[in-house]
Amino acid sequence: MELCATAHPYYRRVMAEQGLSPTDFSTVEDLHKLPPLPKQRFIEEPEAFRLQLDDVPGLSTEETTLADIIYTAGSTNKPTPFYDTVHDRFGRIHLLKRATTVAGIGTDDIVMNLFPVSSVPHQGFLSASWGAMAVGAKLLTGLTGRPYEAFPVHNRMDHAIEMIEREKATVIWGITAYVRRLVVRAQEQGRDFGSVRLAMVMGEACPPGMREDIRTRLMAMGSHEPWTNNGYGLTETLGPATQCFEGGGMHQPLAEDYYFEVVEHETYEPVPDGQPGIMLVSHLNRRGTVLLRYVSGDIVTLTHETCPNCGRTSPRFLGAPYRADGLTKVKGTLINPASLNEEMTHLLQRGVAEYQVVIGREDSKDPYSGDMLLVRVATADQDWDRLRAEVVSIVTNSVEITPRVEFLPADGFAEIAGGYKFKRFVDER
């Protein structure tokens, strides 16, 4: 706290306003003396959370020298810079080593990094690269995405598929929708993916229906007992929480450096262990960008019970985190996109290549017209009547709204590009 009070403008200001000094903080529980930090505050003035002094008494050159600038993904706001010093960079590698080890990846693995390379650096590509290297695994990079145009380093999905087959990759690691789309395309091409044992996916939820679809397709290409590890991570959490087995809780791999609180949505009062609430993130061992009691915007359920599978005692997330602000009204009905998406993923096992749910207006030219729910379905299946009936049944049973259904060719959705996540749920109102 001495460093925050000295060299991070936001905390210097807040501590003065609250009448606090560094001596008021001796345990992590004392962080509760600080007000929660809204995400919008960080977005509005990211420089206020950055180490401002080049020469801070007691800090080494490694602790004050800028090493990396990572940007938040920008799914809800413009990309926001997140600064790492050399100290922070090695701390991040240490965290990723822990997380990758939890997932069971080691020296015998060949990891294919499927995260896109973009002109704005995001965390995913570095997480997979550093995580693999930290545990001594062989690293392959597909270099897909939309990179800086001045240099010809872009590859398409087919190139990554060829590398997986040729190099006998054991782990494929990337954004959930992209990994699934790659697996579908590889199966269509009749590829041999017998070496693949693990799909590491993050950036989006991977409901049971999608996990089973990925597993079935990998097994059809020769893989034996593959499983999907659905990790969770924000740029602000500096790395992924990962599963030690499919469907198990997500381990927070470096609890001594990152403190998670779970609080009630409106009051920010603590909730009991094992109960859902808003996650607050605090950095305990950083120098560059430092966030304390940062409101992630995600609903999580945290437990400190010993993991029944691996015996680790680190905090675990039970179930998949989801956005607190994800609820929306359509035709007066409050719907949960995450819940609807979980039901829709079952279509992926029934001849559907991809889908997208769109909320719009009945008349796009009339801003005051009623809501409309549209489901776009990409498929090679020509039995449209059957699929339309199934889509309508799934949606109406889930959210009690009858959707419109629009069919596209199997490749009707373009590849993920530019480092952004494929949006299965789009509100165009």
Q: What distance in Å separates the CA atoms of residue 418 and residue 117, rounded to the nearest whole number?
A: 7
Please say if the pLDDT value at position 419 is more than 80.
no
- Strands 110-113 and 171-175, by their bridges, are parallel
Tokens of 201: 């996916």
Q: Which residues contact 199 (CB under 8 A, 6 or more apart)?
A: 171, 172, 173, 179, 183, 214, 218, 226, 227, 228, 229
For each of the domains in the chain, give its residue range(s) and CATH number, in order of start: 1-254 (3.40.50.12780), 328-427 (3.30.300.30)
- Position 367 scores a pLDDT of 62
Q: What mean pLDDT, rounded, does the chain reach?
A: 87
State mean pLDDT over 394-422. Answer: 75
Please say if the pLDDT value at position 236 is more than 90.
no
State mean pLDDT over 276-284. Answer: 94
Angle (CA) 298 300 305, round 5° = 155
Return the number of other C-beta atoms located less than 10 Å from residue 146's C-beta: 17
**β-strand partners of 171:** 111, 198
Is residue 176 a contact partner of residue 124, using CB atoms and an 8 Å limit? no
CA dihedral sign of residues 393, 396, 399, 403:
positive
Question: 327-367 pLDDT, tens per residue?
Answer: 677 776 667 787 788 788 888 877 788 889 998 888 777 66
Question: 60-81 pLDDT, tens per residue?
Answer: 999 999 998 888 754 444 678 9
- Position 326 scores a pLDDT of 66
Is residue 65 a contact partner of residue 90, using CB atoms and an 8 Å limit? no
Tokens of 240: 């992924």
Which of 189, 156, 222 lies closest to 410, judged by CA? 189
Q: What distance in Å separates the CA atoms of residue 76 and residue 72, rounded to the nearest whole number?
A: 10
Which of 308, 290, 311, 379 lies closest to 83, judged by CA? 290
Question: 94-115 pLDDT, tens per residue?
Answer: 999 999 999 999 999 999 999 8
Question: 114-144 pLDDT, tens per residue?
Answer: 988 877 666 788 889 999 999 999 999 988 8
* End-to-end Cα distance, the chain: 44
| Residue type, position 369, single letter | S
- Strands 242-243 and 198-202, by their bridges, are unpaired
Is residue 348 a contact partner of residue 180, using CB atoms and an 8 Å limit? yes
Is residue 173 a contact partner of residue 128, using CB atoms and an 8 Å limit? yes
State mean pLDDT over 245-253. Answer: 86
Return the number of other C-beta atoms located less than 10 Å from residue 269's C-beta: 9
Q: What distance in Å separates the CA atoms of residue 352 and residue 384, rounded to the nearest whole number?
A: 11
Residue recorded with tokens 């799934």:
394
Q: In whole angstroms, how far apart are CA 40 and each of 82, 139, 294, 420, 423? A: 14, 36, 10, 20, 22
